[in-house]
């Protein structure tokens, strides 16, 4: 038995209600069950509290002065940083249309006023269990991303590569108008695309160029190995094609599957463009760093040869131009 007892902190619940009597009653009911409770009177205060310290669950009234419970719910569910916090709408109406509005806003559950103590406890317990589960998945994600950085750290010449890739790939996804899930996948792809190099020995990894045919065979396994490591995590579903296909070429000369134009999914094509740019701009033991203009020329030539997606190369440089003008 461990001498140091590690205790999980009690879940924090945020209660949003403009009626101080109801807020106090809910706070009392939940505190009695050992939860930490914070009460606020409107959506504005709720947003400030979520920014200060994200709660594990939100119970919110629908009708409040200022922003409604629906709008608060919709805004939090639209934000990738807060969308996994379970949100319960408390409504005085058992009307179907009100519920539909809540579902459209992304609410995870509903409670009717007056709130019954037993029902409140049961709903809260089941939603917190779900939150714990999603937190564990999130933790598994970040463990893998950290592993990606450890792999990067084995090659001193690629320092910062993953972070730059994650930022640029997500920016390009946003520039192309992709949905938030795809943008998040591109960000994770920046960290995870080369995770499979964990199985490539140091002497091959650090050699960089002039690999023997046998060494190339080992190197070329990394997209498949990386995909295999990440496959059990459902949350990485959109990242898997990025990991597997980031070395495919439009003319079919890439690996591991020799896919051609039209067969390579969009997300790996995006990551590839960003990856090639970063590699060209960085000095390695066997090459110097190219200037921005020379990198652009080289990438356009690669696109003409059928190695990169020419349209995405154009979009990438258009995005960098825009960013420079904004800065
Ligand atoms: Fe790679």
Of 256, 249, 246, 258, residue with least CA distance to 304: 249
Distance 9 CA to ligand 1 centre (A): 40
CA of 226 to the centre of ligand 1 (A): 9
From 149, 186, 156, select the one nearest 267 (Cα to Cα): 186
Gap from CA of 318 to ligand 1 centroid (Å): 25
Comparing 129 with 327, which gets the higher pLDDT?
129
Half-sphere exposure of 231 (CA within 13 A, CB side): 9
Residue 80 is encoded by which pair of tokens? 């990738």
Q: What does the angle CA 270 – CA 258 – CA 319 come to, to the nearest 5 degrees?
A: 10
- Of residues 72 and 103, which shows the higher confidence score? 72
Rounded CA-CA distance 272/261 in Å is 14
Inform me whether the pLDDT recorded for 298 exceeds 50: yes
Centre of ligand 1 from the C-alpha of residue 275, in Å = 9
Q: What is the pLDDT of residues 139-172, one digit of tens each?
A: 777 777 777 777 777 766 667 888 899 999 999 9
Q: Is the peptide bond before 263 cis (omega within 30 degrees of 0)?
A: no
CA of 220 to the centre of ligand 1 (A): 8
Which residues neighbour 115 within 8 Å (Cβ) at sequence distance 6 or greater? 22, 25, 26, 29, 90
User: Given this model, what pLDDT does residue 13 score?
Assistant: 96
The 10s digit of each residue's pLDDT in 254-281 is 999 999 989 999 999 999 999 999 999 9
What are the backbone angles phi and psi of residue 241, rounded to the nearest 5°?
Answer: -60, -30
What is the distance between the alpha carbons of residues 299 and 269, in angstroms, rounded to a whole number?
Answer: 13
Gap from CA of 114 to ligand 1 centroid (Å): 57
Distance 264 CA to ligand 1 centre (A): 15
CA of 120 to the centre of ligand 1 (A): 50
Among 97-101, 210-214, 228-232, the range scoring the smallest mean pLDDT is: 97-101
Kind plus residue range of the DSSP H or E element containing 111: strand 109-112
Ligand 1 center to 164 CA (angstroms): 15
Determine the distance separating the centroid of ligand 1 and the alpha carbon of 119, expressed in angstroms. Answer: 51
Q: To the nearest whole percent, how much of the chain has pLDDT over 70? A: 94
Task: Examine the pLDDT at 327 and tell me if it is beyond 60.
Answer: no
């Amino acid at each position: 038995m461990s001498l140091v007892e590690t205790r999980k902190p009690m879940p924090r619940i945020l209660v949003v209600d403009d009626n101080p009597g109801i807020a106090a009653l809910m706070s009392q009911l939940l505190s009695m069950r050992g939860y930490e409770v914070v009460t606020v009177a409107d959506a504005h205060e709720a947003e400030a509290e979520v920014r200060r310290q994200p709660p594990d669950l939100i119970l919110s009234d629908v009708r409040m002065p200022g922003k409604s419970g629906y709008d608060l719910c919709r805004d939090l569910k639209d934000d990738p940083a807060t969308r996994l916090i379970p949100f319960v709408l408390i409504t005085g109406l058992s009307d179907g249309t009100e519920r539909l509005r809540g579902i459209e806003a992304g609410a995870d559950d509903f409670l009717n006023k007056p709130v019954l103590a037993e029902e409140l406890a049961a709903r809260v317990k089941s939603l917190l269990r779900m939150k714990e589960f999603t937190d564990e998945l999130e933790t598994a994600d970040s463990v893998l991303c950290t592993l990606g950085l450890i792999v990067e750290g084995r090659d001193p010449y690629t320092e910062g590569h993953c972070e730059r890739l994650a930022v640029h790939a997500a920016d390009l996804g946003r520039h192309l108008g992709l949905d938030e899930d795809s943008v998040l996948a591109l960000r994770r792809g920046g960290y995870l695309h080369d995770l499979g190099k964990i199985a490539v020995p140091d002497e091959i990894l650090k050699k960089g160029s002039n690999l023997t045919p046998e060494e190339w065979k080992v190197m070329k396994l990394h997209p498949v190995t990386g995909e295999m490591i990440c496959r059990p995590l459902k949350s990485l579903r959109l990242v898997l094609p990025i990991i597997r296909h980031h070395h495919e070429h439009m003319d079919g000369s890439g690996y591991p599957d020799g896919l051609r134009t039209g067969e390579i999914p969009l997300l790996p094509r995006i990551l590839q463009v960003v990856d090639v740019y970063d590699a060209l701009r960085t000095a390695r033991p066997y090459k110097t760093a190219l200037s921005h203009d020379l990198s652009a020329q080289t990438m356009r030539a690669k696109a003409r040869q059928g190695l990169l997606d020419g349209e995405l190369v154009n979009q990438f440089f258009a995005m960098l131009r825009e960013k420079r003008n904004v800065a």
